[in-house]
Amino acid sequence: MGHYSIREFVNKTKERESTQEAFDLETDRILNIELTGELWAKIDSMISYNGEIRFEREKLMEHGMDRMVKKVFTSEGNELMKASGRGTLYLSDQGKKITILDLNGEKIIVNGNDLLAFEPSVNWDIRMMKKAAGMMSGGLFNILLEGSGKAAITTYYEPLTLIVKPGTPVLTDPGATVAWSGSLQPELKTDINYRTFLGRGSGESIQMKFEGDGFVIVQPCFEGKM
């Protein structure tokens, strides 16, 4: 409809009563966090908060020498901030759809651009794709999450989960690939020929190939092609 009185608009869009959940969806595109300690979130994702909350960019040596070296040689890990304190925190990322995942000892690997927030009980590390093709400087880097706790990921529109079975590989476009199960180790597959260099290729010259037993989450829009 899109036509409201001021009172109607406020009633329709006002924040909901707290559910006491640590992570909850205020809307499909706004994450509501009842903060009572710390959490990690994507830098610049805060849109509002109340209470006593402090925001700090992750320090270079905060998680040890190994991760510091990875951060120096990749762009991943440089976009996290730590929120600490008590209050209600609202996060969003360019209006993307948000999905909350409950980790119970599982591992999942997420594209760094699609990771919105996670609880401190979730362990994380920077991972590089194995057997990455040489044309990508240093390979393709992502964030490994494992342990127990909540994590929020984002997608453009509705995500699609593809099941990977032994003997039936799944191939995806890197720009549309959001996350995959920690049991999978994808590699880059290339299909470059003279038409590609003449600008007459299909545009699908590089794909991610997943083999084994697990799942892959994709989105119906490409990162960087909005």
The reply to whether 6 falls in a domain is no
Distances (CA, A) of 151 to 14, 62, 139, 154: 25, 20, 25, 10
**Maximum pairwise Cα distance, the chain:** 63
The reply to whether 224 falls in a domain is no
Burial of 16 from C-beta contacts in 10 A (0-12 / 13-18 / 19+): exposed
Q: Three-class SS of residue 114?
A: helix
The reply to whether 79 falls in a domain is yes
Contact predicate 96/42, CB 8 Å: no
The reply to whether 5 falls in a domain is no
Tell which residue, 129, 209, 199, has the closest CA to residue 168.
Answer: 209
The reply to whether 70 falls in a domain is yes
- How far, rounded to the nearest angstrom, does the alpha carbon of residue 81 sit from its chain's CA centroid? 14
Beta bridge partner(s), residue 58: none
The reply to whether 126 falls in a domain is yes
The reply to whether 12 falls in a domain is no
Task: Find where tokens 């990455």 sit.
Answer: 132
pLDDT for 209:
93
Tell which residue, 160, 13, 157, has the closest CA to residue 90.
Answer: 13
How far apart are alpha carbons 61 and 14 in whole angstroms? 40
Burial of 31 from C-beta contacts in 10 A (0-12 / 13-18 / 19+): buried
Q: Note down pLDDT in tens along the chain; length 226 residues.
A: 578 878 888 888 888 776 667 899 999 999 999 999 999 999 999 999 999 999 998 665 444 444 444 444 344 444 789 999 999 999 999 999 999 999 999 999 999 889 999 999 999 988 876 554 444 433 467 899 999 999 999 999 999 999 999 999 999 998 899 999 999 989 888 765 544 444 444 455 688 999 999 999 999 986 655 4
Sign of CA dihedral 156, 126, 78, 32: positive
pLDDT for 115:
94
Task: Name the pTM for this structure.
Answer: 0.81
Can you give the CATH number for the domain in which 36 is found? 3.60.160.10
Phi, psi for residue 205 in degrees, rounded to 5: -75, -25
pLDDT for 86:
96
Domain of residue 98 covers 18-218
CA triplet 169, 102, 64: central angle to 5 degrees? 85
Contact predicate 187/144, CB 8 Å: no
How far apart are alpha carbons 6 and 225 in whole angstroms? 37
Indicate the number of domains in the chain. Answer: 1
The reply to whether 96 falls in a domain is yes
DSSP 113: G
How far apart are alpha carbons 7 and 19 in whole angstroms? 24
